[in-house]
């Protein structure tokens, strides 16, 4: 099933043409610069609530709003609307980078499931 892109939103922020792609299963929004239509560039991955369903761009205020659809009181997961402000500084949330091996190739990641949202009750 993959990351299941749910929908997209487009906005022009200053001179930047940005495309926002929600990943329902991944609980993130991928941000692409699409100035070069044949070569979109991934700019950033934004963490969202569980199951992002819709986005609204608000370029005149440098904002993006993303609504998450999953709302389950029993699992203690509530639907949220996350508002992001476009900035030119580095993000504060945790990020991961792969180090390069001695031969210059990156060390791949595996088994990063602990970074994904879990909606089921797990044994304690």
Q: What is the pLDDT of residues 28-55, one digit of tens each?
A: 999 999 999 899 999 999 988 888 889 9
Answer yes or no: is 67 within a domain.
Answer: yes
Task: For the chain, give the mean pLDDT.
Answer: 83
What pLDDT shows up at residue 108? 77
Sole residue written with tokens 């993303």? 66
Give the pLDDT band of residue 95 (cuts 50, 70, 90): low
Answer yes or no: is 115 within a domain.
Answer: no
| Termini Cα distance of the chain | 28
Q: Are 68 and 48 in contact (CB under 8 A)?
A: yes
Give the pLDDT band of residue 27 (cuts 50, 70, 90): confident
Give the pLDDT band of residue 1 (cuts 50, 70, 90): low
Residue 9 CB coordination number (10 Å) = 17
H or E element, residue 61:
none
Answer yes or no: is 20 within a domain.
Answer: yes
Residue 101 CB coordination number (10 Å) = 9
Distance CA 60, CA 49 (A): 24
Residue among 64, 93, 68, 71 nearest 81 (CA): 68
Distance CA 41, CA 30 (A): 10
How many domains does the structure of the chain reveal? 1
Owning domain of residue 19? 5-88
What pLDDT shows up at residue 107? 80
Give the pLDDT band of residue 66 (cuts 50, 70, 90): very high
Checking if the pLDDT of 88 tops 60, the result is yes
H or E element, residue 23:
strand 16-23
What pLDDT shows up at residue 120? 65
Whether pTM exceeds 0.75: no
What pLDDT shows up at residue 77? 79
* 73 phi-psi bin (left φ>0, alpha ψ -120 to 50, beta other): alpha
Answer yes or no: is 29 within a domain.
Answer: yes
Answer yes or no: is 25 within a domain.
Answer: yes
Answer yes or no: is 100 within a domain.
Answer: no
């Amino acid at each position: 099933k993959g990351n299941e892109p749910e929908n997209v939103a487009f906005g022009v922020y200053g001179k930047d043409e940005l495309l926002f792609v929600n990943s329902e299963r991944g609980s993130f929004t991928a941000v692409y610069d699409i100035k070069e239509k044949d070569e979109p560039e991934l700019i950033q991955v934004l963490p969202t609530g569980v199951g992002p369903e819709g986005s609204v761009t608000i370029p005149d205020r440098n904002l993006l709003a993303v609504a998450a659809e999953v709302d389950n009181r029993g699992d203690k997961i509530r639907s949220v609307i996350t508002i992001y402000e476009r900035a030119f500084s580095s993000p504060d949330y945790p990020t991961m980078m792969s180090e390069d091996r001695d031969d210059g190739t990156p060390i791949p990641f595996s088994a990063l499931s602990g970074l994904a949202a879990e909606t089921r009750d797990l044994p304690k």
